[in-house]
Structures are given as C-alpha cells and as structure tokens.
Structure 1
C-alpha cells in the first residue's frame, strides 16, 4: 500500500494568483519531518498581515532556497505517495502552479473529510473548521511546537487524520469486515490490518509465504493497513486504545511480523499458523543455515526483492538481513 505523507505550507497571503509560498513541511504518519524548509519568494518583498500570523519575515527567507530549487526534492519525496493536506483549496493552486504534487498517487484534503465527519452546516453548506480547532478536538498535543508554522501544521494534520481513520475503523469493524490485529516488532508498530480476504483465504495466504521478513516494513501487505501506534509515541491515541481493547480478545485474528522464525498468525479458535519457511524451536537445520554468510545475505536480499514491489524500501532489506544473520550466527 502507498505511503501516506502530510504536507503543510505557509504563504505571503491567501490569493492563489498573487501570493507565494514561504515555507513547506512534510512529515510521515509518525510525525517525523521529511522536509522542513523556508522558501524565498520571487516577487513578494513584504507580507505584514501574514507575518503577524505565522511570524515569517522577509529577513528570515533572504537566504532560503527558491521554490524552483526545491521542486526536485519535493517531487521525489511525494512520488507514488498518498498526500494529505488541510485546506486543499488554499494549498493546491500554489503547489499545482509548479506541478509539485504531480507524481503523487492522489492528494486528499483532510478539511473536507473533517467537515463531512462533523456534518455541521451553515447557510445550507458544510461548515469548514480551522485546523487548530479540528486538531484539538482530535486530541492533538501541541507540546513545544511553534504555533502557526508549516511543520506544526503538518503534525496537527496527522492527528486529524488519526481521528478520521479511527471513525473508519469502527465502521469497518461494525460491518463485520475481517480485521487482523498486527504487531510488527521491527519498529514495534501496532496496526489494524484489513486484508480484504475471508478467514480461510487469509490462512491460506499466510501458509503459502516463503518468507514474511520482507513485510517487516509492512508496506506491501495485501488490503488496507492502518497504523495504531508505534514504540516511542507520546500518549495513547484513540486508535491505540481501540487496538488494545480489541486486539487482546481471543475471538479475533492476531498476527506478528518479525525476523524469521518469529512470525505467526493466531486464529479466533486459538490455532497458530506459520508460513512456509518457518522452523520451530527445535531448530531443525534449514538449507539457509547451511550457507556461508555471504550466501545467506544474498538469500535474504533475494527474498526481500521478491516480496517488495516498491524499490524505495529495498535499503531496509539490508538492515533486516544483517539483523537476521546476526541472530542466526548467535543461535
């Protein structure tokens, strides 16, 4: 499934025709900044009203890169990703003028989705909500973030998106859609996995896998995957609380992804299912363990390439392989 990124900007004003971008930030679903840069405008020399709101002055951007200089890195970052904005109507024209998001798989506006979720109307139309209002209602913790800056906004959008996903998860669970409560030890992530399969199909799919290590970064699992929380996150989100409540019930499917052989699927009737390449605790020697270190590394990388459709995640395969080899050599 595509990666989801959260993008926010700061501008010289609200006109898509005459104003320019002053700052852009992109973060991932863990709120880690992937891009956070001031931008030197080409035509505007002052913006007192906007400056009073976000605090970015002409002096601040004197030595900043121009948008043209940032175009390549931005387009490379969002390529083949799902990009979430807040107030797409305000950001998109300025971004679209430079075709910055052309490579994204799709762009979505959280403000529209939040308005639909709240279903409040004004003069017969959906009522729009400011990002700060939506974020606070979603339980966002501002912490030490500087208010009204692009990165602060991008992180707040994550909280709004989390709440929207929480509502979607509850609807899907109520409809009876199959959900697997998945933990991924590589990064200690917990996820709601909707594999778009029946229970029998899921069990057959799991058993047919030659290896599951390539899924440790979970991007290529079939169906939809919604992150609940990750190790080191501050506080417990609404999704995390729901995960803890539902994931511990034995009547649900639960699964764990890690390095071999610590991958398993547990069925509602408490049956443990393992994949094709799994070996039990008796350490029955596998063909892999009879190979040299170099051959083992090549074998792991081959598995990762076979299971990973997105080449951007192949560098992680090396880390996974090295960790696995260390475990084998010490075991």
Structure 2
C-alpha cells in the first residue's frame, strides 16, 4: 500500500476571536497543547507516511506560515488554494495530484488540522484499519465517532448493512440536529460525522466523475493549472458532492477521544484541568474559581470566585464570556466597533 496523508488546513476560525486572525487562524495557534494545532496534526500522522507523501491544503495567504511551522514539508506539498471552494474541490485536486505521482491505487487519508485527539495510538490504528478496508473493498471509507454525548453541534451518520467486521454501509448522513433529535440519534446508534475520509485516489476521482458536476468539468479542463481549476470550480462540500450521492460509502466506528475544537468552550473538554477543573494555558492563577477556560497569550490572568467563564487575554485586549455563550461569538463580533473587532 502506498499511503498519503492529506490535511485540510484552511479557514480563519472566527469563533476563536480575539486570538485568531486571518493571518494567524486557529490551526496555527497553540490551543490544545503548547504546539500549534497543525503541528500536532502532522506529528500524529507522521509515522504512517513521510513528509514527501503528506499534503497540506490551505489558504494562499497561509502557505508561507505553514512552511515555517514544518520545514520538513516539501514546498510543492503545501497547496495554496486561491479562494475557498469547499472540501470537495480541495480533495479532488489532492487526489488528482497523488494519482499523478503514485497511481490510482494510492490510498489517501484525509483529516483536518483543528482537531484534538485524546488517544493517539487508537487514532492511528483506526486510520490503518480504514486504509486497509478502502483498498480491499475499493470503497470510500469514513470514520464515524462513537458519541460520548448527544451533541447538536455535529453532523451524524446512520450505519446501515454490515459489510465485514465492524464496517457497515452508510444508510444516510444527517445534518446537525436539535438537542432532542441528537438524543434519539445517539440512542439509535448513530455516529458523529468526523470528517475523516479514506479512499484510493482513483476511486474518489471515479465517483466525482460520475456524481459531481460541480467539480468534474473544472478538474478536466484545468490541465493541471491550480489557479484555473479554482477559478472555474463550483464550491461544494465533499459530503454533499460525493458521499451523499455515491453507493460506495462505508463507515467504521472510532473511539479515540476525538473532538472538533470549534469554540473556546470546547477547550474545557480537551485541555488538562487543574485541581479546580479549570483549563488554563499561559500565565494564569485561579483562586476559588472552577470550570473556567483561560487562554493567556503573554498577559497575566487572575481569577477569583468565578465559575464557567472563558477568558482570552492578549496584549491590549481581553475578552470575557461564559462557556455557554462562547459558541455565539458572531453576535458579539457583529456588535463590536471595527476598531475593537479588527484590532
């Protein structure tokens, strides 16, 4: 098996304001550990494929920053997307590039740069299993996370007929549900849609040819020209453009402490806690304070007698909210004057 790792590292992570900026989005920030999230991601994947078989797909404005973070990556393996065009376009381009270098049977393992993983050995073992299944079954394989709670912030996958061992066909993908629906889905054995995808590149390209008119014409006509492809392609997610239309999609369950770190509050789930259940990074002190999230970027933070807050401090700016409200930073950003929001 020839295996490639592909890391999706685009986006700006606006829900991590005021630390995240277009020039330094969340995937380039040390949010879970002392290392940037993208570095953590590449390190987790490194044992399964060398840097020359690792692609990072990112915004054009971030290409140089990615190369500075990991100089072991060949410059040609950091793909600078000229504009956001959805995950289907990005992964289609990656698959075509891999097929040109290593043939259509090369296995492509796709992950995102902004996840926290609690059990790294189990994560690697699951990806190895998914790669074996993708090659043996010539299928598009996704890893569905066994839910630890009913969460309305994730999409879900309904497993269908058993194919082999713990691998099943996908009966359907479900969009982010409300709380009551999420509870029913968890009780009925649905899995979280993690965004982990594994396939032979030729199989993905064939399914795009058959099912994805939003992408296939641009892929054919681009003749290897990245700028032309992204200028002509229609933006669409891989789930919608391929997986929901294909009959070759399989799912296997994953249990390795996966978390899509989407908000400041999520850091309370994935960071180490102190004796008072606070998740703090940077110079900070808590006294009679419990359940808080603190990210102090060079500015000392002291908490006293407060609970379940999010405090983000950087030079010249401090943001304080509750863990419950941390998912709704868009409302805050819309209300702020530009001189504060864009500082």
Q: Which has the higher contact order (CA 8 A, sep 6+)?
A: 2
The question of a shared fold, defined as TM-score above 0.5 by the shorter chain, is answered with: no
Q: What is the TM-score with the length of structure 2 in the denominator?
A: 0.25
Structure (1/2) with the larger strand percentage: 2
Bigger Rg over Cα: 1
